[in-house]
């Protein structure tokens, strides 16, 4: 069947089998491999993307069901080369280690902050409770989201001039540092 | 890279933190991960790549009668179906394990655990490969399974490994250490002896990314490139040379970004070998990625130790001796990943942090109809089990003597002046100041106030528990004369090149799975050479590009590879001194080092920076005799001993008297891993390990029913803590450097996983003490705690 959807602001049209999961469509058809797949029972949330601004587990959505919808993945979090405050927050507060849960966590955090710009720690924990992280023990993820809440985009923090000096060259403007 | 100058990591009284190499800097790994530009195994796509899927056994123990692959082969997208019979022809049906046993790659004679590999389909896409699994017809003749390790040695127990000639039972090994007669004598004359069966149930490391491989066999050049989720790429290369018969120089193992390992990704799984066979058979690259159920059911489990603990003491609380017998359930194949001479890993560290007169332990390993494994999940080679046993037993003794558990520990610690301390089972602990760490932990916790609060709550019938655990870890295997894995000595190489413009690349033999090696190894070089960390790239995970070494597990990266990196940087520094001498036209012995620069003694203005020296080394400077140009070096580091980090953990729990639900209210962790390279990364390692502890103590278990069905084959049943089940961790530290390590650093990664379960269980038992509970086994789920509250505590299956 033919489907069309908007992913990170661009329109994509593809011929797919009806049974193809959105996570596989994003990863394998569109080549956006930042979205991960960590379980087969819809528990882990490493596949979370935003569908019309709401976090969904893309392993539990058929690509066909996402047709006509607006999808945002981790690759679409930064805008115009500027990191989303959530991305910056995860780096500032060491909210990631292996990085496998990170894309899903950040998208959930983005959706939370869009709805509730000043969540308390309990609200953050509740928001990410559908997602498992094996490395961080969550406390630094909570701190990362709080960092992002304290540095909203468009309120003085523009992604280049952070509260902490000396932004890395590699955080400034390039997507080219994929490890061989 | 952001250098954060003024954010203390763990403000603590008596702060002696002297992190090295710029200390708490942000990670070099993060920019790619936060953009979704990491490069994990399943992100790899090669031209013409096929997809493999494994058909798995639905039963635990059964003769294989027949396999019919006709319908699967007729599927239009299927390229090949491989069975055990095919592998027999290739002599690949069985593969050696890391414990000198063999493991079936595909079943040829009988199934030995549920989820075992039976056939391998290679197809054009991953959906078709799964479709074809449904088209394979297998006939099984079901046999009685052996599930309960306690019955493994019964005369009528089914013999699981009947393919081994002459084998008539399920005993894998008997191993012991310590002086039995001496220990028995101490026990015979002791005032007080307590004993307790302590079970560490089967759990699973469950990394978020499962295991997988992409095999690419180039038939023209005879070269195999194998991308794998492996923690030990070099060891895998050697093992693949042995298993597959491909010459080792024709094998390149690439370990890309790994989505967590936690010991799950040390060994070689049948899927990796099948991907290679699939690529050889099809002439195309083959990807195999397991799903979560496969990961939980068939890859390396952890623990499964049934321990009979005994402790002898004087009536005023001086601990005299420890003894234990362990029944170890290893599953159907002994694939435990550990040094060759240590069939029970480093369980012999079970004497803990205490100065004993005698100790003895014996371990019996048995086969059962379960997946293989044992050593995984941040265990440091069975140190989790050892620490859990001794820390549970000390609490049992404290209860018996009616002593405060912290006081009892303080009374029995090995004292600072006793280090290096030779324990009764052959370890020489490098350094420690135990009382200082425990006192700091008690101070951070407000221990006295907590005990007062508990007393008040008990008056009201509320169940509050305070758990104390103190551990001594043993990490950094190890001296090659004592430690090897399948004959490969446990040393690690490092190679450092400083480019003409002063930027550096350091190549290491270990493999990060999130521990931040790309950052911290650059920090070590930065400390030694004065090159900023952002100017140093760390290369790991590609056997064609990195020096040989044994990989990352057992918290060995900092102790072994970290030592190698410090030494290789010092070697470069010494070479730079000779070149600087030539450039400054002075004798090298007249030069003095300040970070990043050699200068003439007494004339600080006359000097050359590392970058200037690097340019000279690559340029036209007349080099001194014996200096071969370029600013580079390589070393292999054979550590003189392991490192012995330690920690003092205090856990506060509240137990709901109506439901038995345990809530971890606070957790205070004081760790000492010697010199701290990056406090931010250490804190993250500790947080992750503490969460493992909450999982194991309260939620996680892999059980089997009588038919041998695995009851925790997915995240529906295998429960892992979310942000809701864990508290905001409270951490602190002391610094007691390792005297033998080049930068005084000890390993840390597994400490919290090792130390936290006994603190939590001790807290739960402490909470239940008013109800007469003296012990309960993990996991302390509401149902199991409720049973304990009713006087019906039972061991897990």
Gap from B435 CA to chain A (nearest CA, Å): 27
Question: Among B207, B516, B726, whose Cβ lies nearest the Cβ of A134?
Answer: B207
- Number of Cβ within 10 Å of residue B492's Cβ equals 30
Gap from B690 CA to chain A (nearest CA, Å): 7
Q: What angle do CA A57, A61, A62 make, to 5 degrees?
A: 150
Taking only residues 525 to 564 of chain B, the set having a beta carbon closer than 8 angstroms to any beta carbon of chain A reads: 534, 542
CB contact under 8 A, B687 and A96: no
* Residue among B462, B557, B559 nearest B519 (CA): B557
pLDDT recorded at residue B22: 75
Question: Among A40, A75, A139, whose Cβ lies nearest the Cβ of B714?
Answer: A40
Residue A112 Cα distances to A72, A118, A154, B33, B352, angstroms = 14, 9, 17, 21, 46
Q: Does B726 touch chain A (CB under 8 A)?
A: yes
pLDDT digits (tens, 9 = 90+) for B662-688: 999 999 999 999 999 999 999 999 999
Gap from B687 CA to chain A (nearest CA, Å): 5
pLDDT recorded at residue B88: 96
Q: What angle do CA B52, B58, B59 make, to 5 degrees?
A: 135
Decide: B540 and B546 in contact? Cβ < 8 Å.
Answer: yes
- 3-state helix, strand, coil split of chain B in percent (to 5) is 30, 25, 45
Query: Helix (H, G, I), strand (E, B), or coil: what is residue B73?
Result: helix
- Prediction pTM value: 0.95
Residue B682 Cα distances to A151, B557, B686, angstroms = 26, 13, 6
Query: Helix (H, G, I), strand (E, B), or coil: what is residue B713?
Result: coil
Sign of CA dihedral A131, A133, A138, A141: negative
Q: Does A58 touch chain B (CB under 8 A)?
A: no
CB contact under 8 A, A98 and B30: no
CATH architecture of A85-165: Orthogonal Bundle (1.10)
Q: What angle do CA B44, B45, B46 make, to 5 degrees?
A: 120
Least confident residue range of A118-122, B13-17, B144-148, B654-658: B13-17
Q: Does B126 touch chain A (CB under 8 A)?
A: yes
The H-or-E segment that residue B95 falls in is strand B94-96
CA distance B307 to B389: 7
Residue B241 Cα distances to B83, B86, B230, B235, angstroms = 22, 20, 16, 10
Decide: B233 and B291 in contact? Cβ < 8 Å.
Answer: no
The strand pairing partners of A5, in sequence order, are A12
pLDDT digits (tens, 9 = 90+) for B20-54: 767 889 999 999 999 999 999 999 999 999 999 99
pLDDT recorded at residue A166: 37
- Number of Cβ within 10 Å of residue A54's Cβ equals 12
Decide: B101 and B335 in contact? Cβ < 8 Å.
Answer: yes
ipTM above 0.85 for this complex: yes
CB contact under 8 A, A40 and B292: yes
The H-or-E segment that residue B647 falls in is strand B646-655
Q: What angle do CA B237, B509, B292 make, to 5 degrees?
A: 65
pLDDT digits (tens, 9 = 90+) for A108-159: 999 999 999 999 999 999 999 999 999 999 999 999 999 999 999 866 555 4
The H-or-E segment that residue B572 falls in is helix B563-584
**Burial (Cβ within 10 Å: 0-12, 13-18, ≥19) of residue B689:** buried
CA atoms within a 13 Å half-sphere pointing along the CA-CB vector of B454 = 24
R_g (Cα) of chain A, nearest Å: 16
Decide: B111 and B368 in contact? Cβ < 8 Å.
Answer: no
Least confident residue range of A74-83, A128-137, B77-86, B220-229: A74-83
Decide: B378 and B696 in contact? Cβ < 8 Å.
Answer: no
Look at residue B574 and tell me whether its pLDDT is greater than 80: yes
**DSSP label at residue B561:** I
Domain boundaries, chain A: 2-76, 85-165
CATH 3.10.20.30 fits A2-76, yes or no: yes
Percent of chain B beyond pLDDT 70? 97
Q: Does B40 touch chain A (CB under 8 A)?
A: yes
Least confident residue range of B13-17, B343-347, B595-599, B690-694: B13-17
The pair phi, psi for residue B712, each rounded to 5°, is -135, 50
pLDDT digits (tens, 9 = 90+) for B155-184: 999 999 999 999 999 999 999 999 999 999
Q: Does A59 touch chain B (CB under 8 A)?
A: no
pLDDT recorded at residue B23: 83
CB contact under 8 A, A134 and B206: yes
Q: What angle do CA B173, B176, B180 make, to 5 degrees?
A: 145
Gap from B290 CA to chain A (nearest CA, Å): 10
Tokens 């000890």 belong to which residue? B746
The encoded tokens of residue B323 equal 């003894």
pLDDT recorded at residue B168: 95
CB contact under 8 A, B684 and A78: no
Residue B440 Cα distances to B218, B572, B648, B734, angstroms = 59, 40, 8, 8
Decide: A48 and A74 in contact? Cβ < 8 Å.
Answer: no
Contacts of B3 in chain A (CB under 8 A): 166
Q: How many residues does chain B have?
A: 797
Gap from A179 CA to chain B (nearest CA, Å): 6
- 3-state helix, strand, coil split of chain A in percent (to 5) is 35, 15, 50
Residue B449 Cα distances to B452, B454, B466, B764, B767, angstroms = 5, 8, 11, 18, 16
């Amino acid at each position: 069947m033919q489907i069309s959807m908007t992913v990170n602001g661009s329109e994509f049209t593809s011929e797919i089998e009806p049974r193809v999961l959105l996570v596989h469509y994003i990863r394998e058809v569109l080549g956006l491999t930042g979205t991960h797949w960590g379980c087969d029972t819809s528990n882990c949330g490493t596949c979370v993307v935003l569908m019309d601004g709401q976090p969904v587990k893309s392993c539990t959505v058929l690509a066909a069901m996402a047709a006509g919808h607006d999808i945002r993945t981790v690759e679409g979090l930064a805008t115009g080369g500027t990191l989303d405050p959530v991305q910056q927050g995860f780096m500032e507060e060491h909210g990631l280690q292996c990085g496998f849960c990170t894309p899903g966590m950040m998208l959930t955090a983005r959706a939370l902050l869009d709805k509730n710009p000043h969540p308390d720690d309990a609200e953050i924990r509740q928001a990410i409770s559908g997602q498992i992280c094996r490395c961080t023990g969550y406390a630094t993820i909570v701190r990362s989201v709080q960092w992002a809440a304290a540095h909203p985009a468009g309120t003085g923090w523009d992604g280049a001039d952070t509260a902490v000096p000396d932004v890395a060259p590699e955080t400034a403007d390039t997507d080219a540092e994929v490890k061989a | 890279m952001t250098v954060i100058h003024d954010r203390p990591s763990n403000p603590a009284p008596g702060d002696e933190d002297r992190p090295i190499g710029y200390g708490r800097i942000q990670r070099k790994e993060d920019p790619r991960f936060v953009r979704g530009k990491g490069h994990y195994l399943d992100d790899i796509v090669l031209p013409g790549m096929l997809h493999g899927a494994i058909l798995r056994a639905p039963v635990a123990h059964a003769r294989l009668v027949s396999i019919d692959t006709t319908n699967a082969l007729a599927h239009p997208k299927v390229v090949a179906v491989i069975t055990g019979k095919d592998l027999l022809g290739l002599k690949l049906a069985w593969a050696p394990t890391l414990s000198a046993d063999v493991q079936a790659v595909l079943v040829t004679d009988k199934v030995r655990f549920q989820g075992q590999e039976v056939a391998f389909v290679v197809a054009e896409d991953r959906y078709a490969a799964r479709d074809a699994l449904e088209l394979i017809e297998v006939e099984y003749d079901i046999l009685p399974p052996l599930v309960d390790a306690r019955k493994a040695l019964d005369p009528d127990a089914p013999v699981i490994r009947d393919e081994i000639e002459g084998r008539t039972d399920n005993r894998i090994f008997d191993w012991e250490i310590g002086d039995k007669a001496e220990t028995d004598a101490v026990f015979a004359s002791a005032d007080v002896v307590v004993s307790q069966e302590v079970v560490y149930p089967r759990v699973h490391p469950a990394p978020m990314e499962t295991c997988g491989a992409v095999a690419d066999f180039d038939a023209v050049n005879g070269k195999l490139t194998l991308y794998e989720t492996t923690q030990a790429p070099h060891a895998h290369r050697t093992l693949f040379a042995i298993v597959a018969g491909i010459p080792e120089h024709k094998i390149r193992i690439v370990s890309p970004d790994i989505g967590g390992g936690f010991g799950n990704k040390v060994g070689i799984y049948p899927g990796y070998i099948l991907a290679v066979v699939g690529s050889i058979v099809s002439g195309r690259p083959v990807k195999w990625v397991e799903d979560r159920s496969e990961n939980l059911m068939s890859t390396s489990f952890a623990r499964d130790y049934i321990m009979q603990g005994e402790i002898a003491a004087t009536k005023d609380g001086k601990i005299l001796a420890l003894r234990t017998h362990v029944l170890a359930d290893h599953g159907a194949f002994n694939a435990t990943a550990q040094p060759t001479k240590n069939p029970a890993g480093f369980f012999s560290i079970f004497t803990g942090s205490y100065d004993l007169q005698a100790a003895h332990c014996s371990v019996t390993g048995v086969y059962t109809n379960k997946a293989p494994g044992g050593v995984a999940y941040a265990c440091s080679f069975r140190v989790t089990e050892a620490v859990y046993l001794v820390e549970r037993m000390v609490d049992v003794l404290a209860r018996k003597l009616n002593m405060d558990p912290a006081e009892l520990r303080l009374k029995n610690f090995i004292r600072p002046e006793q280090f290096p301390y030779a324990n009764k089972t052959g370890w020489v602990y490098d350094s420690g100041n135990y009382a200082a760490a425990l006192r700091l932990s008690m101070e951070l916790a407000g221990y006295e106030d907590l005990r007062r609060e508990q007393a008040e709550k008990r008056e009201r019938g509320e169940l509050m528990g305070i758990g104390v655990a103190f551990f001594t870890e043993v990490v950094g295997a190890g001296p090659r004369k004592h430690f090897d894995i399948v004959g490969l000595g446990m040393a690690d190489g490092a190679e450092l090149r400083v480019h003409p413009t002063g930027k550096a690349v350091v190549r290491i033999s270990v493999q990060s799975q999130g521990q931040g090696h790309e950052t911290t190894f650059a920090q070590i070089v930065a400390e030694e050479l004065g090159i900023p960390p952002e100017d140093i790239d760390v290369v790991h995970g590609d056997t064609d590009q990195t020096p040989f070494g044994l990989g990352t597990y057992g918290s060995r990266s900092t102790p072994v590879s970290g030592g190698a990196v410090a030494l290789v940087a010092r070697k470069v520094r010494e070479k730079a001194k000779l070149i600087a001498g030539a450039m400054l036209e002075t004798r090298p012995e007249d030069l003095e080092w300040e970070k990043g620069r050699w200068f003439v003694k007494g004339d600080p203005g006359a000097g050359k920076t590392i970058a200037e020296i690097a340019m000279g080394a690559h340029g036209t400077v007349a080099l001194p005799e014996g200096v071969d140009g370029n600013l580079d070096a390589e070393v292999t580091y054979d550590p003189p001993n392991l490192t012995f980090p330690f920690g003092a953990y205090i856990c506060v729990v509240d137990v709901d008297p109506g439901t038995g639900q345990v809530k971890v209210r606070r957790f205070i962790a004081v760790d000492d891993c010697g010199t701290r390279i990056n406090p931010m990364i250490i804190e993250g390692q500790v947080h992750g390990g503490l969460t493992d502890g909450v999982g194991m103590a309260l939620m996680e278990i892999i059980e089997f029913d009588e038919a041998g069905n695995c009851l925790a084959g997915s995240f529906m049943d295998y429960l892992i803590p979310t942000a809701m089940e864990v508290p905001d961790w409270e951490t602190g530290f002391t610094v007691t450097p390792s005297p033998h390590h080049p930068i005084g650093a000890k390993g840390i990664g597994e400490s919290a996983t090792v130390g936290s379960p006994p603190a939590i269980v001790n807290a739960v038992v402490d909470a239940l003490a008013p109800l007469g509970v003296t012990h309960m086994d993990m996991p302390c789920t509401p149902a199991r705690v409720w049973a304990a509250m009713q006087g019906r505590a039972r061991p897990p299956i």
